[in-house]
Structure 1
């Protein structure tokens, strides 16, 4: 087998700020930002927009998530109310 072809897997904290939920797991993602975890160690942190703690399917509630004005960006790009052919 070839060596050194796989990405490095390390402990990373995934944090859903809207739901106040954080999860420590292994991932190949890396981040320059860090957070101190419950065990006192410092880990890279990746902020996510939605997780199982805030997802409507798992919580039974609905929530509007409009990140970076996706609707406005779509309307600028394709126009508002363009007629269909």
Structure 2
């Protein structure tokens, strides 16, 4: 591998603001904002919209979609006369 062409691989905190959940991992992402972690060190923080703490697949909180209303509306609109 050539030196100097790869991004720096460092510790980064990913924070899900919707679920008030954060985790420390390693990544090549960088951020101007920082956060002081539980170990007392300061790390760059990246805010994410969704994580395993807020995703419906992992939490079990799924939205219910009214499919019966959609089917009836489709049939009314496109039924044969």
Q: TM-score range by the shorter chain?
A: 0.7 to 0.9
Q: 5+ unaligned residues in a row in structure 1: which ranges?
A: 64-85
Aligned-pair distance for 1:62?
3.1
Equivalent residue number for residue 46 of structure 1: 46
Equivalent residue number for residue 37 of structure 2: 37
Instruction: Kindly tell me the number of residue pairs found equivalent between the two proteins.
Output: 63
TM-score norm. by structure 1 comes to 0.70
Misfit runs of 4+, over 3 Å = none
Equivalent residue number for residue 18 of structure 2: 18
> Larger Cα Rg: Structure 1 or Structure 2?
2
TM-score norm. by structure 2 comes to 0.73
Q: Are 2:25 and 1:2 equivalent residues in the alignment? A: no
Secondary structure at 1:24 match in 2: strand
> What is the Cα-based RMSD across aligned positions, in Å?
1.1
Task: State the distance in 1 between where 2:54 and 2:21 align.
Answer: 8
Equivalent residue number for residue 81 of structure 1: none
Equivalent residue number for residue 75 of structure 2: none
